Amino acid sequence: MIKKSTESQNFGTQFYTFLNSTPRAFQEKIAGSYNAIKGVYPICSHAMPQPLWKKRGYNDDGDQVWEKICRLFRQNTPQPVSVYVHVPFCQQKCGFCDCLSLPIKDSLTADRFVSALQMEIKAWGQLPGIKECPVTVLYFGGGTPNSLPDALFEQVLRMLKKTFQIHEDTQISVECNAHLLTPERLRMLKTLGVNRISIGVQTLQEPLRFRLGRHSSAKEVLTAIQRCKGSGFITCADVIYGLPEQNMNVFLDTLQSLIDAGIDGLSLYRFNLRQQNQEFIKKTFPRFHISELKNYVYFQAGHCLLNQAGYQKNHFIHFVRSDNNLYYRHVLRSEDLIALGPTADGVIGFYRYRHPHLKGYLLKDKNNRPKFEGGTDESQTMKTRPLTAALMCGEIVEEKMRSAGLGPLLSKWQSCDILEPSGSGRCRLTANGSWLIDPIIDEVKRALDG
Ligand X SMILES: C[S@@+](CC[C@H](N)C(=O)[O-])C[C@H]1O[C@@H](n2cnc3c(N)ncnc32)[C@H](O)[C@@H]1O
Min dist CB 99 to ligand SF4, Å, is 4
The stretch near ligand X (CB under 6 A) out of 32-40, 51-59, 194-202, 284-292 is: 194-202
Number of chain positions touching ligand X (CB under 6 A):
19
Q: Maximum CA pair distance of the chain?
A: 68
**93 in contact with ligand SF4 (CB under 6 A):** yes
Neighbouring CB atoms inside 10 A of 350's CB total 14
Adjacency order of strands within the sheet including 396-397: 396-397, 426-429, 419-423
The residue within the footprint of ligand SF4, chosen from 30, 65, 94, 138 (CB under 6 A), is 94
**395 in contact with ligand X (CB under 6 A):** no
Q: Which amino acid is at 378?
A: E
Min dist CB 242 to ligand SF4, Å, is 15
**269 in contact with ligand X (CB under 6 A):** yes
Q: Which is nearer to ligand SF4, 223 or 324 (CB)?
A: 223
**267 in contact with ligand SF4 (CB under 6 A):** no
Strands 396-397, 374-377: pairing is unpaired
Q: Residue 277: name its binding partner from ligand X, ligand SF4, none (Cβ under 5 to 8 Å by kind).
A: ligand X
**144 in contact with ligand X (CB under 6 A):** yes
Min dist CB 443 to ligand SF4, Å, is 33
Find the length of the chain: 450
Q: If you write DSSP's letter for every residue of 133-181 in order, what string do you get?
A: SBEEEEEEEES-GGGS-HHHHHHHHHHHHHHSB--TT-EEEEEE-GGG-
The residue within the footprint of ligand SF4, chosen from 173, 177, 430, 432 (CB under 6 A), is 177
The residue within the footprint of ligand SF4, chosen from 30, 81, 85, 97 (CB under 6 A), is 97
Min dist CB 241 to ligand X, Å, is 9
Angle between helical axes of 437-449 and 385-392 (0-180°, round to 10): 160
The residue within the footprint of ligand SF4, chosen from 83, 85, 99, 152 (CB under 6 A), is 99
The stretch near ligand X (CB under 6 A) out of 13-21, 91-99, 215-223, 395-403 is: 91-99
The interface with ligand SF4 within residues 411-450 (CB under 6 A) comprises none
Q: Which is nearer to ligand X, 269 or 350 (CB)?
A: 269
CA–centroid distance for 73 within its chain: 27
The stretch near ligand X (CB under 6 A) out of 9-17, 92-100, 317-325, 375-383 is: 92-100
Q: Which is nearer to ligand X, 218 or 444 (CB)?
A: 218
**328 in contact with ligand X (CB under 6 A):** no
Instruction: Give bridge partners of residue 198 from the DSSP assignment.
Output: 175, 236
**140 in contact with ligand X (CB under 6 A):** no
151, exposed or middle or buried, with CB in 10 Å at 0-12, 13-18, 19+?
A: exposed
Q: Tell which residue, 99, 317, 94, has the closest CA to residue 208.
A: 94
Q: Tell which residue, 326, 431, 382, has the closest CA to residue 33.
A: 431
DSSP 1: -
Strands 265-270, 318-320: pairing is antiparallel
Task: Kindly state the helix (H) or strand (E) to which residue 259 belongs, with its residue range.
Answer: helix 248-260
Q: Residue 93: name its binding partner from ligand SF4, ligand X, none (Cβ under 5 to 8 Å by kind).
A: ligand SF4
**200 in contact with ligand X (CB under 6 A):** yes
Q: Residue 271: name its binding partner from ligand SF4, ligand X, none (Cβ under 5 to 8 Å by kind).
A: ligand X
The interface with ligand SF4 within residues 127-146 (CB under 6 A) comprises 142-144
d(CA 411, CA 424): 17
Sequence-separated (6 or more) residues with CB below 8 Å from residue 381:
52, 350, 388
**442 in contact with ligand X (CB under 6 A):** no
Angle (CA) 315 319 322, round 5°? 110
Catalog residues that contact ligand SF4 under the rule CB under 6 A: 90, 93-94, 97, 99, 101, 142-144, 177, 200
Positions touching ligand X (CB under 6 A) are 90, 96-99, 142-144, 175, 177, 199-200, 202, 238, 240, 269, 271-272, 277
